Amino acid sequence: MSGFLHYQDIKTLDSDIKKLKPKYWRIGWSFNSMEEIDYMRKNNITPIMVVSDKYGYPYETHKKWEDPLKTDKLVVLLKNMYQQMGNSVIYDIWNESSFEEKEFFSIFKKAHDIIRSQPGGDKALISGPSYDKYDPKQIDRFLQFCLDNNVRLDVMSWHEWRYGDKEFQDIKKDIAELKVILSNRYAKVGVKKIILNEVVFADIQFNPTEILQTLKSLEESGIDGACKACWEESNGVSNCNNNSMDGILDQKGKPRSAWWAYKLYNLSLQNRVRAHSDESNLIPFVSYDDKNIHLIVANNSKYNINQVRISAKNLLKNKDLKKYKNFNLKVYQIPNTGENVLLEPKLLSSKQMKLTNNQLIYNLTDTGSKTLYYLVLSGK
């Protein structure tokens, strides 16, 4: 699910990118040269190019606005853009349209047809409608327009600001219902992926447990990816354009606790195994490598929990771990530091462990609200 928006100089983020391994990066006004696209592709990142960022918006009073339906500006822009980028990016036609619906649909079709008319444009990936929220009736009208007007939409996108346990359940329900109509009534529209190109609302942007519950919930919805949104910080500076990876780094490039959420999420993707929690706001991720078992527990509830019982079963079925007779368990804590830096997780305990009946039983005590815990069981 890992993705980000914008940058000042993406290559200066190389160390963080290699640690976090984002899947998507949504760009537009921040894009400067094809070197950036090439860099992303080499790092297995798919760029999402926001065409409207390069075209300009009606509210930008410092520019002379040109109606894309009445001038050739959009034609020239997209031909040049496609000649330069080809099929190396996903083309996100318009961000959070403020047009009347009929006008927006016409602009979208015009851009779609220009891209498709280019050599190789039939293979281009086009995304939309990138609405500022999920509205099923609005989405349905957009899909009906695409069906009626021979618009092939490869990637369905919108911005998702809901959070909290109940709202995550609503998101899952909405996506499940959308998938049904995409595969039935609107199958000919051709949607292959759902990518939420802006997620994580301003109120929770620095909170590591909220971020992990967002990523976990979207995973469970079976979508393809999600890009973290950027917002203004307490000093009035937007983290859209300060090279902070949308605020998970501070302005000096140091990690906040939100960075650690993305770091541990990426760690959890290698050899992920099934994990279940009896508490909906207690989010588990479990994975392993040839020497370690990684257990991530995010307490995203409003309350401290006196004791969390962790039971990890069938550990020694893994051939790489069978050779170890003794294990060491380290427990780290990642509090919600907000805008403050967190250079390292806090080591809470380190102890020798013996596995009983192929399983680990451990009681994590005094689990703080909105606090992330990372347990690593290492063979010795």
Q: List Cβ neighbours of 137 (8 Å cut-off, separation of 6 or more).
A: none
- Is there a contact between 314 and 358 (Cβ–Cβ < 8 Å)? yes
- Is there a contact between 122 and 157 (Cβ–Cβ < 8 Å)? no
**What sections of the chain are H helices per DSSP?**
14-20, 34-42, 51-55, 73-85, 101-116, 136-148, 165-183, 208-221, 257-268
- pTM greater than 0.85 (yes/no): yes
Amino acid code (one letter) for 200:
V
Beta strands in the chain (DSSP E): 3-5, 24-27, 46-50, 90-92, 125-131, 155-160, 193-199, 225-228, 282-288, 292-299, 305-312, 327-334, 346-353, 360-367, 371-379
- Is there a contact between 36 and 57 (Cβ–Cβ < 8 Å)? no
Amino acid code (one letter) for 4:
F
Which token pair is 60?
Answer: 């930008």
- Is there a contact between 371 and 282 (Cβ–Cβ < 8 Å)? no
| Ordered per-residue pLDDT tens for the chain, 380 residues | 999 999 999 999 999 999 999 999 999 999 999 999 999 999 999 999 999 999 999 988 667 889 999 999 999 999 999 999 999 999 999 999 999 999 999 999 999 999 999 999 999 999 999 999 999 999 999 999 999 999 999 999 999 999 999 999 999 999 999 999 999 999 999 999 999 999 999 999 999 999 999 999 999 999 999 999 999 999 999 999 899 999 999 999 999 999 999 999 999 999 999 999 999 999 999 999 888 899 999 999 999 999 999 998 887 666 667 777 788 999 999 999 999 999 999 999 999 987 777 788 899 999 999 999 999 998 87
Q: List Cβ neighbours of 104 (8 Å cut-off, separation of 6 or more).
A: 94, 97, 129
- Is there a contact between 380 and 327 (Cβ–Cβ < 8 Å)? yes
- Is there a contact between 140 and 113 (Cβ–Cβ < 8 Å)? no
For helices 34-42 and 73-85, give the axis angle rounded to 10 degrees: 40
Tell me how far apart the 2 most distant CA atoms of the chain are, in Å.
74
In angstroms, the CA 129 to CA 98 distance is 12
